């Protein structure tokens, strides 16, 4: 299990002209052609434009011109983030042929920092899932063991990063979709505070929860990409000014940091092997100077039902726009009235899981049930937010497992939606509270990756990145790479 060069190290080599962006991009494209038939991380790859951009960047470096932060590093972008002139499918038949006429703000920023959009990555349809199995284009396989899922919904992004089919990638995290696949594929994934990264151009699943987040092989890589994408965007009214320079402010000094170990994240349904393993790993935080204490956040037991009511309610409203008129697919509808035509389009355009969620969400919002479900879920959300706020007055960060289970076999849970939803139990509270969290590799159980989740208050990305970085340096787990 020898290491892969991190984006951070590659960046240094490109800047010092030890390595050209063209050589690096070619090597990445070679890996894609070697592995992706099996892994299926990508829905499309931008071979020609990637190489021509790399050439331009090399010229800039040679001439000593001002160069952006990402210096020709390939970035793989989840296929629900709009890319001008490049299909953006949400891994759905509904948007199979949708080519956006504009770039999402994050994509614009990556290009502006001389990053190269290498391709679009596979995902659960409309980001609804925990395993990338609901993709219309077929599953993404876990590079650590190809009979297993890569996690989801940003499974393509995490798998591509883990096997070296890209330097960096973007995912979106509504209830764990950056952190879950990061954990399953042994890479680092950050869910930023709600508002830190613009959502303009991210195709909505549940907009009060959605956030775009960076995925890298190391904590430094994640900080580098966050530097490139964070910040206020006038086109997203919920975005805020970044407190900036995440990479530059990384230090190994975490002396005296107070860490709360959340009891409920080890609650019912957790694999006992993960619980045991995590407790041992968390102890290592004391070796690097941090203080540990157990803490209970009792409202977290309601977070999963609250999340699924809120997320599905918002989804049912957001997905109403796919009516066969304005975007994407339109079923054969000659002679049909509008209503029949649109329901025919929706019938063939959406997969099972998406339909299930639209129906459940519409039900929760309907007259007579709104108070009983949606409103109640909103109240729980407020309580959860308050509970985190109080806890994070006392602690610098909170920790627990990212996932309560190990990566599972392809097909193992797909027929049982409730069992699949249960896997999100440790990640969804963070989205409900709107705060930030990172998943960092913390070893292996039976050769399958495990992730440690570090949770911070709103806008305390620097703090959790620092803690994750210190832990990574202490343990060295991010140096391992899958052997295919």
Closest approach, Cβ 171 to ligand GLN, in A, equals 8
Q: Which residues pair with 142 in a beta bridge?
A: 145
CA distance 301 to 443: 27
Cβ contact 307:431 at 8 Å = yes
Bond preceding residue 153 cis, omega within 30 of 0: yes
Is 183 catalytic? The answer is no
Residue 205 interacting with ligand GLN (CB under 6 A): yes
Regarding 211 and contact with ligand GLN (CB under 6 A), the answer is no
Residue-level length of the chain: 484
Binding track over 125-144 against ligand GLN, x by CB under 6 A: --xxxx--------------
Please pick, among 20, 91, 131, 153, the residue that the annotation labels catalytic.
153
Question: In Å, what is the CA distance from 235 to each residue of 7, 105, 150?
Answer: 29, 8, 33
- For ligand GLN, the closer of residues 207 and 249 by Cβ is 207
318 binds ligand GLN (CB under 6 A): no
Sites for ligand GLN among residues 421-460 (CB under 6 A)? 424
Residue 222: CB minimum distance to ligand GLN, A: 17
Catalytic residue among 92, 135, 169, 177: 177
Q: How far is the CB of 82 from ligand GLN (least distance, A)?
A: 16
Q: Is 110 in the site for ligand GLN (CB under 6 A)?
A: no
**Is residue 402 near ligand GLN by the rule CB under 6 A?**
no
Of 127 and 170, nearer to ligand GLN (C-beta) is: 127
Smallest Cα–Cα separation from 461: which of 260, 242, 253? Answer: 242
* CA within 13 Å, CB half, 44: 20
408 binds ligand GLN (CB under 6 A): no
Which residues from 27-86 bind ligand GLN, rule CB under 6 A? none
What is the smallest separation between the CB atom of 193 and ligand GLN, expressed in angstroms?
A: 15
How many Cβ atoms sit within 10 Å of the Cβ of residue 38? 12
Residues with Cβ within 8 Å of 215's Cβ and at least 6 positions away in sequence, in order, are 154, 157, 158, 161, 168, 169, 170, 171, 178, 181, 182, 187, 188, 189, 190, 222, 225
* Nearest residue (CB) to ligand GLN, 254 versus 435: 435
Of residues 89, 153, 242, 313, which one binds ligand GLN by CB under 6 A?
153
Q: Which of 72, 176, 181, 349 binds ligand GLN (CB under 6 A)?
A: 176
Least distance between ligand GLN and beta carbon 484 (Å):
26
Smallest separation (angstroms) from ligand GLN to the CB of 183: 12
Query: 445: closest CA among 209, 276, 214?
Result: 276
Active site includes 153?
yes
User: CA-CA distances (angstroms) from residue 200 to 63, 281, 466?
Assistant: 34, 38, 28
| Cβ contacts of 154 within 8 Å, gap of 6 or more | 78, 121, 123, 127, 132, 169, 171, 172, 173, 177, 178, 181, 189, 215
Query: How far apart are alpha carbons 34 and 269 in whole angstroms?
Result: 38
Q: Output the smallest distance, CB 91 to ligand GLN, in A.
A: 12
> Residue 423 CB, nearest distance to ligand GLN (Å)?
7
Region of residue 476 (left: phi > 0; alpha: psi -120 to 50; beta: else): left
* Between 274 and 312, CB nearer to ligand GLN: 312
- How is residue 249 written in tokens? 């402010």
364 close to 312: Cβ distance less than 8 angstroms: yes
Instruction: Rank residues 130 and 469 by Cβ distance to ligand GLN and give the closer one.
Output: 130
How many residues touch ligand GLN under the rule CB under 6 A: the total is 14
Q: Which residue is nearest to ligand GLN (CB)?
A: 177
Query: Closest Cα to residue 390, out of 266, 296, 267, 286?
Result: 296
Which residue lies nearer to ligand GLN by CB, 129 or 156? 129
Choosing from 143, 175, 361, 400, the residue that interacts with ligand GLN (CB under 6 A) is 175
Told to check if 311 binds ligand GLN by CB under 6 A, we report yes
Q: Which of 20, 31, 78, 92 is catalytic?
A: 78
Among 174, 218, 239, 342, binds ligand GLN (CB under 6 A): 174
Residue 316 has φ and ψ, to the nearest 5°, of -65, -35
The reply on whether position 303 binds ligand GLN by CB under 6 A is: no
Q: Which spans of this chain sit near ligand GLN (rule: CB under 6 A)?
A: 127-130, 153, 172-177, 205, 311, 424
Question: What are the catalytic residues?
Answer: 78, 153, 177
């Amino acid at each position: 299990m020898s290491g892969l060069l991190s984006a951070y190290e590659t960046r240094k080599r490109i800047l010092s002209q030890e390595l050209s962006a063209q050589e690096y991009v070619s090597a990445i494209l070679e890996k894609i052609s070697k592995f992706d038939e099996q892994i299926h991380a990508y829905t499309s790859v931008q071979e020609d434009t990637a190489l021509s951009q790399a050439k331009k960047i090399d010229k800039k470096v040679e001439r000593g011109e001002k160069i952006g932060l990402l210096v020709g590093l390939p970035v793989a972008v989840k296929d629900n983030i709009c890319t001008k002139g490049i299909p953006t499918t949400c891994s759905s038949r509904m948007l199979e042929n949708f080519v956006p006429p504009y770039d999402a703000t994050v994509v614009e920023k990556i290009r502006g920092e001389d990053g190269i959009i290498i391709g679009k990555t596979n995902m659960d349809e409309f980001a609804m899932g925990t395993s990338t199995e609901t993709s219309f284009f077929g599953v993404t396989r876990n590079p650590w063991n190809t009979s297993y899922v890569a996690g989801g919904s940003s499974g393509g992004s995490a798998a591509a990063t883990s096997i070296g089919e890209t330097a960096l990638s973007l995912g979106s995290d509504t209830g764990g979709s950056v952190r879950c696949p990061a954990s399953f594929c042994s890479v680092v994934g950050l869910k930023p505070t709600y508002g830190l990264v613009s959502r303009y151009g991210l195709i909505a699943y549940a907009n009060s929860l959605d956030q775009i987040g960076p995925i890298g092989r190391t904590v430094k890589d994640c900080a580098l990409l966050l530097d490139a994408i964070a910040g206020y965007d006038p086109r997203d009214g919920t975005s805020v000014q970044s407190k900036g320079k995440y990479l530059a402010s990384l230090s190994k000094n975490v002396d005296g940091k107070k860490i709360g170990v959340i009891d409920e994240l080890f609650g019912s349904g957790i694999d006992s092997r993960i619980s045991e393993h995590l407790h041992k790993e968390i102890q290592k935080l004391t070796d690097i100077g941090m203080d540990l204490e157990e803490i209970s956040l009792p409202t977290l037991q309601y977070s999963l039902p609250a999340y699924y009511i809120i997320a599905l309610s918002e989804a049912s409203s957001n997905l109403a726009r796919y009516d066969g008129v304005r975007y994407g697919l339109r079923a054969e509808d000659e002679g049909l009235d509008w209503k029949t035509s649109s329901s025919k389009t929706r019938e063939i355009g959406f997969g099972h899981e998406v339909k299930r969620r639209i129906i459940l969400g519409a039900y929760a919002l309907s007259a007579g049930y709104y108070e009983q479900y949606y409103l109640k879920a909103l109240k729980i959300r407020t309580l959860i937010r308050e509970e985190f706020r109080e806890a994070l007055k006392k602690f610098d960060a909170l920790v627990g497992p990212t996932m309560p289970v190990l990566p599972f076999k392809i097909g193992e849970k797909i027929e049982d939606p409730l069992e699949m939803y249960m896997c999100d139990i440790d990640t969804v509270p963070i989205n409900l509270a709107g705060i930030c969290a990172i998943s960092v590799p913390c070893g292996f159980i039976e050769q399958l990756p495990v992730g440690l989740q570090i949770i911070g208050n709103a806008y305390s990305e620097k703090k959790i990145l620092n803690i994750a970085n210190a832990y990574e340096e202490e343990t060295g787990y991010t140096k391992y790479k899958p052997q295919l």
